[in-house]
Amino acid sequence: QLVESGGGSVQPGGSLRLACEVSGFPIDRSCVGWFRQAAGKEREWIASIYRPGGNTFAADSVKGRFTISQDNAKNVMSLEMNDLKAEDTGMYYCAAKRSQTSLYCNTGRMVGSYAYWGQGTQVTVSS
């Protein structure tokens, strides 16, 4: 089970921190990703983290602004979002899958490659 939290409304340039609590899913050799879906658009991958090693990967559109991290003790994956822009608006989802290697966690960015999904949390960036 994956449960997201932390969404909300913020002005451009602001920050938000999303959290994804993962339960009932093994930590070893797994990949947790964050996706977002803007109104009328397809769901897109934005970042992922390989567990338990902690290797992280991010889309070019968010590099330098978004940071994905993990708290193994609490089995929580976080997405720190800074310098938010209007185009970051959308529903944010976390997802999980088994991944034998960190390479696959990085290259396997397709929505269909993830088997488990949270319900999503809305992020709105507007002045």
Q: What is the dihedral of CA 97, 17, 120, 105, to 10 degrees?
A: -20
Say if CB 19 and CB 76 are below 8 A apart: yes
Instruction: Per residue of the chain (127 residues), give pLDDT as tens.
Output: 999 999 999 999 999 999 999 988 887 889 999 999 999 999 999 999 998 888 999 999 999 999 999 886 778 999 999 999 999 999 999 999 998 889 989 988 999 999 999 999 999 999 9
pLDDT digits (tens, 9 = 90+) for 65-77: 999 998 867 789 9
